[in-house]
Chains A and B, each alone.
Chain A
Amino acid sequence: MKQSFTLSLCSTALISASILVGATAAVAGDAKTYPGSMCVRYSGSNPSYSGSMIGNPSSSQWLYLDCPAINDSMSEQLHNSWVAVLDRHYSSDVHCSVHSRYWNNSTAALNGWWGGNNYSAGSGNNLQKLSWGRLSGAGDSVHTYFSCAIPPAYSGHVSYIVNYHANED
């Protein structure tokens, strides 16, 4: 009798603990990596795609992209983020910045927060990560994206946005 009561209490406590751990784990793991192919051209040359990377095959024009990130943590700001790039141009650099945007009804204005411009260095087949820390702007009306520019192809060597990462923890 006592054993039955004790057993039911222990099993309930175990279930409760499991639920709490699971919920905490779900909230703590709010970081995502997106393939470069999710980026959208908004200006410049037409992109090429390879293995879900997005590249600039043009020998003369730059490619300008916006790469969307999902804001699903309504109460958290972006804490850190990065864009992984392949820079194969001998002199021009891939560069990106991270943005949050908000339409402000109180002031009838568009608000924007921009991280600093980050540039790749050198050229080659090594993956480079352009990274940022905290960015202001949180809430379900804010959207976040990375704005990038890819230089033209040099001697047929194409530069790419490989993937990008946003962490709201």
Chain B
Amino acid sequence: MKINSRPAIVLSFLVLGIGIYAGSVWRDRNERITGSRKSMALVAPSDVVARLPDPSAPMLTSQNNGDDPGLAERELLRQELTRVQNRLDELIEFQASLQVSVDDVLSGSGSDDSTPISDYDQSQHFEDAIEQQQNAIDTRLYQEEVDQEWTLETERALNGVLASEALQGFELVSSSCGSTLCKVELSIDPNISPEVAMQKLSHHRSWDGPSFVKLDENGLAQIYFSREGHELPTIDTDTAY
């Protein structure tokens, strides 16, 4: 089973990255504050209170602390806290940009290397797979030996329903059966739309096995069906993502 959990995987790695970054910031901050606290332990509380700087005074650098080591320590601490605040602001910005990237991935509008396949490419891929499936069925049919009894019985039943009122406007062009597969080509009255034709065929078909049908705009129907108890050759028609 193909699991489309790319957004979840991207999100989990982003969360992990944020957590590691936040953890390192937290660690750095703790180290600096703890270190500052160790220095502050050498200063008596009365000294700190007595020497609180005037808030309106100009900022002192560590070189200008003069005779007041406590003031220098506080200034150093303030500057460190400012730096930590700046780093936290950076983290918040980083987180916001990551959220934008996650939103882009989830909406499929991201401009990274994993650009989603266009609708046209998906349809083309699927239609190529359908053509391959039809070729595979034709190949199997060509390789099968003919079961005469089953072929006669199948064609008799087919002619019976084509003659019924329910399938008026449907005419047999050709039929070919092997031992587990049959291919039938019908010409359909152009006044019958493809969707109505397919509905009628599916409902009044003379066979019970699984089928693959192709109705083109010219009124030609190609129908492949397998014998009861047998499966049609299939290929992976899952669209690529």
A residues contacting B by CB (< 8 A) are 1-2, 4-5, 8-9, 11-13, 15-17, 19-20, 22-24, 27-28, 42-43, 64, 74-77, 97, 99, 101-102, 104-117, 133-142, 147, 149, 169
A77 is contacted by which of B11, B119, B231, B237 (Cβ under 8 Å)? B237
Q: For residue B31, which residues in chain A have a CB less than 8 angstroms away from its CB?
A: 1
Q: What is the CA–CA distance of A138 and B15 in the complex, to the nearest angstrom?
A: 33
B15 is contacted by which of A4, A15, A43 (Cβ under 8 Å)? A15
Question: How close is A129's CB to chain B, nearest CB, in angstroms?
Answer: 17
Are B239 and A75 in contact, CB atoms less than 8 angstroms apart?
yes
Q: Per-residue CB proximity of B100-111 to A under 8 Å, as 1/0?
A: 000000000000
Given A1-B31, A42-B199, list of 10 further CB < 8 A pairs?
A: A16-B12, A19-B12, A64-B203, A76-B238, A101-B198, A109-B216, A113-B210, A114-B212, A114-B213, A117-B205
The stretch among B60-68, B78-86, B122-130, B171-179 that forms the contact with chain A is B122-130
A136 is contacted by which of B8, B18, B212 (Cβ under 8 Å)? B212
Are A9 and B19 in contact, CB atoms less than 8 angstroms apart?
yes
Q: For residue A108, which residues in chain B have a CB less than 8 angstroms away from its CB?
A: 216-217
| B191 contacts partner chain A, Cβ-Cβ < 8 Å | no
Q: What is the CA–CA distance of A112 and B234 in the complex, to the nearest angstrom?
A: 13
User: Interface majority SS on B: helix, strand, loop or mixed?
Assistant: helix
Cβ contacts A to B, 20 pairs, < 8 Å: A1-B27, A4-B26, A5-B23, A12-B19, A17-B12, A20-B9, A24-B3, A106-B124, A108-B217, A110-B213, A112-B214, A134-B234, A136-B234, A136-B237, A138-B237, A139-B123, A139-B237, A147-B202, A147-B203, A149-B203
With A13-B16, A23-B5, A136-B212 already in contact, the answer to whether A77 and B238 are too (CB < 8 A) is: yes
Residue of A nearest to B225 (CB): A114
Q: What is the CA–CA distance of A107 and B134 in the complex, to the nearest angstrom?
A: 12
Residue of A nearest to B230 (CB): A116
Q: What is the CA–CA distance of A139 and B126 in the complex, to the nearest angstrom?
A: 8
Q: Per-residue CB proximity of B202-241 to A under 8 Å, as 1/0?
A: 1101001111111111000000000010011010011111
| B4 contacts partner chain A, Cβ-Cβ < 8 Å | yes
Residue of A nearest to B133 (CB): A136
Q: For residue A28, which residues in chain B have a CB less than 8 angstroms away from its CB?
A: 1, 3
| B135 contacts partner chain A, Cβ-Cβ < 8 Å | no
With A64-B203, A116-B208, A149-B203 already in contact, the answer to whether A9 and B237 are too (CB < 8 A) is: no
Q: What is the CA–CA distance of A12 and B14 in the complex, to the nearest angstrom?
A: 10
A12 is contacted by which of B15, B119, B240 (Cβ under 8 Å)? B15
Question: How close is A99's CB to chain B, nearest CB, in angstroms?
Answer: 7
Are A109 and B12 in contact, CB atoms less than 8 angstroms apart?
no
Q: What is the CA–CA distance of A141 and B129 in the complex, to the nearest angstrom?
A: 14
A138 is contacted by which of B11, B209, B211, B238 (Cβ under 8 Å)? B238
B215 is contacted by which of A13, A76, A109 (Cβ under 8 Å)? A109
